[in-house]
Amino acid sequence: MKHSRRAFLEAGLAVPAALSTRQSLLEPASVVSVSVAKDSFFDPWVEIHRENLRYNVQEISLRVGARPILAVIKNNGYGAGVGNIAKLLEPQKEILGFAVVKLHEAHSLRDAGIRKTILLLGPFDEQDLSDAVARNIVPMIYTPLGPALNKIAERLQKPVPVHICIDTGIGRVGVPYHQAVPLVRDVAARKSVHIQGVMMTFTEDTDFDKEQLRRFTETCASLEKEGISLGKKHAASSFALFQHPDAFLDIVRPGMAIYGIYSENEFRHTNILDLRPAISLKSRVIYVKKLRKGDSAGYNRAYLAKDDVWVATLPVGHADGWPRTAAKGAKVRINSGDRDGGDLYPVIASVSASHCIVEVGVQERVKVGDTAIFFDAQPGSRPEDVSEACGASVYDLTMHLNPLLPRCIL
């Protein structure tokens, strides 16, 4: 299938929601000068596979006994575009709603017409909170916000729904579990607030996770004994989908598994969940040449040719989100033509901001214009394969994708 990059841009979903929101915040419409982007056929792009997303959600739903899924789509939808992902997932009945960290992402989802629940995990001040609640964005809280919530409820003439985050050992956000009871009691006593849920996050240390779950369930039980209604309880990220069925609770809260990527390489070799990668990074070969024995490549002459060898330059570097560590063992798949398949070639030398180089071998086996696949859904070039080969985290592979790269939904 031949993709025209211009067509991606014209599809309307190509500009990441975060980017368009920022622009609208910074520049009043009257002074925006519209210029037609002159992107190159050779520039990299990101593909999002709607069928794989749909499949992964169904797989997760089967695994969790059809519990509702609160899809974590923070950090620009794990690189796929927060608006793209929400629009693709919203129609699925298994999806209860979405969780994001950044306030602007939450607003951009409402701007894009997303109607399902949006849980805001990130920080906000009182004005942000008021604006968010007015748009049906549900805040995650963990500090004594009672008076602020009273004011907002009074203004909106309705109770403010919240999820309360309890820290059972991750030490990040969340009220420490041993201080949670008075905080939750205070919130529950207010008519201005509706506790829609309580939540925690695992450290993903398998043994300690059990202790965390015990702390959470005991804290919840003691509050419920007082007659306090806690709403839906949730804790399970992708890791817990594999490791902790006892933590599925009322709702599950995965991110990475939805994108079809195993958060830990060892999970690939179990048959707990069949996941199909839904995010790919591709570009074209821009230059092919022969290095002579002794020639160097990369900054600091990181590579020295032991013999005459063909190399190909690819227009993807760490500024695009391709990690510098890729030069420590990752391989890129290069096709002849626009079909799947092709061969894997090692990344050599160093990954610079906008380029990397692959070693093609003793023969000139690739040509300018061939498609280069950095990761996709094919065995050998899955994100987990790149991660395993060079030590880059799969989270960094997708979440660090430059938001300015075009997104193409297949």
Ligand X SMILES: Cc1ncc(COP(=O)(O)O)c(C=O)c1O
Task: Give residue number: closest CB to ligand X.
Answer: 255
Q: Assess 121 for contact with ligand X (CB under 6 A).
A: yes
**Toward ligand X, which CB reaches closer, 137 or 286?**
137
Total of residues contacting ligand X (CB under 6 A):
12
Q: Assess 96 for contact with ligand X (CB under 6 A).
A: no
Sign of the dihedral defined by the CA atoms of residues 235, 240, 246, 249, in that order:
positive
**Toward ligand X, which CB reaches closer, 201 or 283?**
201
**Toward ligand X, which CB reaches closer, 73 or 326?**
73
CB of 337 to ligand X, least distance (A): 35
Sign of the dihedral defined by the CA atoms of residues 102, 258, 205, 177, in that order:
positive
Residue ranges in 263-322 that form contacts with ligand X under rule CB under 6 A:
263
Q: Assess 325 for contact with ligand X (CB under 6 A).
A: no
Give the pairing of strands 232-236 and 193-199. Answer: parallel
Residue type for 115, please? R
CB of 121 to ligand X, least distance (A): 5
CB of 66 to ligand X, least distance (A): 18
Contact between 333 and 380 (Cβ < 8 Å): yes
**How is residue 340 written in tokens?**
């799947």
For residues 115 and 109, what is the distance between their CA atoms, to the nearest angstrom? 8
**Toward ligand X, which CB reaches closer, 8 or 267?**
267
**Toward ligand X, which CB reaches closer, 52 or 238?**
238
Residue ranges in 195-214 that form contacts with ligand X under rule CB under 6 A:
201
**Toward ligand X, which CB reaches closer, 13 or 236?**
236
For residues 135 and 138, what is the distance between their CA atoms, to the nearest angstrom? 9
For residues 273 and 113, what is the distance between their CA atoms, to the nearest angstrom? 31
Contact between 19 and 404 (Cβ < 8 Å): yes
Interface map 217-256 toward ligand X (x if CB under 6 A): --------------------xxx-------------xxxx
> Pseudo-torsion of CA 267, 268, 270, 273, nearest 10°?
90
Sign of the dihedral defined by the CA atoms of residues 236, 242, 244, 248, in that order:
positive
CB of 50 to ligand X, least distance (A): 19
CB of 238 to ligand X, least distance (A): 3
Contact between 368 and 288 (Cβ < 8 Å): yes
**Toward ligand X, which CB reaches closer, 132 or 316?**
132
- 146-156 vs 126-134: helix axis angle to the nearest 10? 40
C-alpha R_g of the chain: 24
Residue ranges in 71-90 that form contacts with ligand X under rule CB under 6 A:
72
CB of 236 to ligand X, least distance (A): 8
CB of 196 to ligand X, least distance (A): 16
For residues 149 and 139, what is the distance between their CA atoms, to the nearest angstrom? 11
**Toward ligand X, which CB reaches closer, 42 or 395?**
395
One-character DSSP codes across 375-405: E-SSTTSSHHHHHHHH---HHHHHHTS-TTS
CB of 275 to ligand X, least distance (A): 11
Q: Which residues bind ligand X (CB under 6 A)?
A: 72, 121, 201, 237-239, 253-257, 263
